[in-house]
Amino acid sequence: MNNVVILPVIIPVIAGLMMVLFRKKIRLHRLLSVLALFALLLVSIFLILQIETVGIQVLQAGGWPAPYGISFVADMFAALLLLSASIVALFCLLYSFRSIGREREEHYFYPLFLFLIAGVNGSFLTGDLFHLFVCFEVMLISSYVLISLGGTGRQLRESLKYILVNVVSSSLFLVAVAYLYALTGTLNFAHLSVVVAKVGQEGLMTTVALLFLLVFSIKSALFLFFWLPESYSAPPTAIAAIFAALLTKVGLYTIFRMFTLIFYHEPQITHQFIGVLGAATMVLGAFGAVAFSDIKKILTYNVIVGAGFVIAGLAAFTADGVMGSVFYLLHDILVKGLIFLIGGAIIRLTGTSNLNEVSGLIRYHPYLGWMFFISALSLAGIPPLSGFVGKIFITKGTFQAEYFWLGAVGLLTSLMVLYSLMKVFMNVFWGETTLSKEKEKGTTKGLVLPISGLTALSVMLGLGAEVILPYVRIAAETLLVPSQYIKAVLGLGE
């Protein structure tokens, strides 16, 4: 039992609720939200250190023993994701101070932001399938409001589609939960793992597993990403960045949890299917990224490519593949957030997201340009940046599992990602400077600071990979040996 495990969920909730009471006090909102996210950062570092020395941390809510109550479980995978989520949230928050606007701030932007983080953290930490659904809904309802906050025509239209897609997929989620409950009679992850291992993963169980895969594919933009490009380009930059960095990753995290802990008995069916989905996602996402000449569209399609790449490591299902996936997830959370923030800064300067109307920004904004360059290289996986480490492990994993096609697709789409981002870089930053300093539509004052902070961190993640890899290795090992998780949750007796 460890009460610290629940802190990442309740800190943002309590801070958010306090802010709701004082609606007009924007300064208080800013202070409280920074403090809350900073506290989250410290808590997740504390959890990581504790997991490293003592092992998986568990909290049984209300003191009810495992299969009967709701368990909160922090293993290394969840804790690492908590850490990167709180980092990227902190920087998106700093970015929003100067860009989100008074109107949105007064309409509960900061509380909603924190509720979103609470939902994300809850999904990472929960050890119960139905509680996972509840955390998902907390996250989604906050995102519904955030995506429509401001109420422009485009935002409203996209939010309606976004809500519809998510409501339908949430219903399917519950259908899958109902079937699984009928088959196993439990909803606790660890207990589910034990029961599924005992009764065997027969045809019906695999069907339920695929239904879960369908649900989380919609949520994580794995193959079923039709809703993503439009809805992620509608909201303002800070919101789009946190969506791109975190929301799809929560879906990916759940796929990892379900298919390493519970449904790992038939990898030649489920994991191979996941691999096919991953490859298709990478190819389609990369084509989208190459095809458009709109910054927002290019970046949102890159989110989709990232989802496909992360899942390739799970499809391989080897130690190296899973390790690569965990590392790539951490990298993707930071760098996707970063590149969205930079893209937003460009649009703010020029007033347009069309590549053909912008050129030569590097003359007055060299830092912005080079930071975009660094994050583009990092996303494409150029050494020594952080994308490289993840990509090399994932590719190694797919080769070990003899999914050569999957590894090849991953590498080819990396080139397409590089091309799409270099297209942005060359169009926007090179060429004749058409926009004089006075004619700029907005200012990057206050925006460069969070961007450079996040750039520094993502470079450090690449250069300091040696420091982080031991933790990633622990995370991957825990994922591949479900008995550790089960033992921690259900106790030694079972």
The residues that touch other proteins, with contacts defined as CB under 8 A, are 130, 133-134, 137, 141, 144-145, 148, 151-154, 156-157, 159-160, 163-164, 167-168, 170-171, 174-175, 177-179, 181-182, 187
Q: Please identify, using beta-carbon distances, which residue of 171 and 434 lies nearer to other proteins.
A: 171
d(CA 349, CA 440): 5
The residue among 307, 319, 207 whose CA lies nearest residue 263 is 207
Q: Which two tokens mark 455?
A: 């750039």
Residue 92: HSE in the Cβ half-sphere, 13 Å Cα cutoff: 33
| Contact in structure between 109 and 255 (CB atoms under 8 Å) | no
CA distances from 47 to 3, 57, 74, 87 (A): 11, 8, 8, 15
Q: How far is the CB of 231 from other proteins (least distance, A)?
A: 12
Query: Per the structure block, which two tokens stand in for 366?
Result: 């060299």
Q: How far is the CB of 167 from other proteins (least distance, A)?
A: 5
- The CA-based dihedral angle spanning residues 367, 369, 374, 380, taken in that order and rounded to the nearest 10 degrees: 170
Cα separation, 176 vs 391, whole angstroms: 32
- Residue placing its CB nearer to other proteins in the complex, 103 or 402: 103
Which residues are 188's β-sheet partners?
128
- DSSP H helical ranges for 381-403: 386-400
Q: What is the DSSP letter of 66?
A: T
Closest CB 367 distance from other proteins, rounded Å: 31
**Least distance to other proteins from the beta carbon of 159, Å?**
6
> CA dist 13 to 86, 129, 383, 386, Å?
14, 21, 39, 32
Which residue lies nearer to other proteins by CB, 63 or 153? 153
Least distance (Å) from other proteins to the CB of residue 174? 5
- For other proteins, the closer of residues 232 and 372 by Cβ is 232
The torsion defined by the Cα of 105, 110, 115 and 118, in degrees rounded to 10, comes to 160
Minimum CB–partner distance for residue 490 and other proteins (Å): 18
Locus of tokens 């450090």: 460
Contacts of 438 (CB under 8 A, 6+ apart): none
Of the two residues 132 and 330, which places its CB atom closer to other proteins in the complex? Answer: 132
Is the Cβ of residue 156 or residue 412 nearer to other proteins in the bound state? Answer: 156
Report whether the peptide linkage leading into residue 267 is cis, meaning its omega lies within 30 degrees of zero: no
Q: How far is the CB of 141 from other proteins (least distance, A)?
A: 6
Smallest gap, in angstroms, from Cβ of residue 391 to other proteins?
Answer: 34
Query: In DSSP terms, which residues pair with 457 in a beta bridge?
Result: none
Q: 321 with 398: CB under 8 angstroms?
A: yes
d(CA 389, CA 371): 19
In terms of residues, how long is the chain?
494
The residues near 56 (Cβ < 8 Å, ≥ 6 apart) are 73, 74, 75, 76, 478, 484, 485, 488, 489
Measured from the CB atom, the residue of 154 and 441 that comes closer to other proteins is 154
CB of residue 323 to other proteins, shortest distance in Å: 36
Q: Indicate the residue among 157 and 363 with the shorter CB distance to other proteins.
A: 157
Nearer to other proteins, 354 or 433 (CB): 354
Instruction: Select 234 or 304, whichever has its Cβ closest to other proteins.
Output: 234
CB of 352 to other proteins, least distance (A): 10
Identity of the residue, 162 or 264, whose beta carbon is nearer to other proteins in the bound complex: 162
How would DSSP label each residue in 437-472? GGG-SS--TTTHHHHHHHHHHHHHHHHTHHHHHHHH
User: Considering the complex, what minimum distance in angstroms separates the CB of residue 301 from other proteins?
Assistant: 17
**Torsion over CA: 314, 320, 325, 326 (sign):** positive
The encoded tokens of residue 9 equal 């969920």
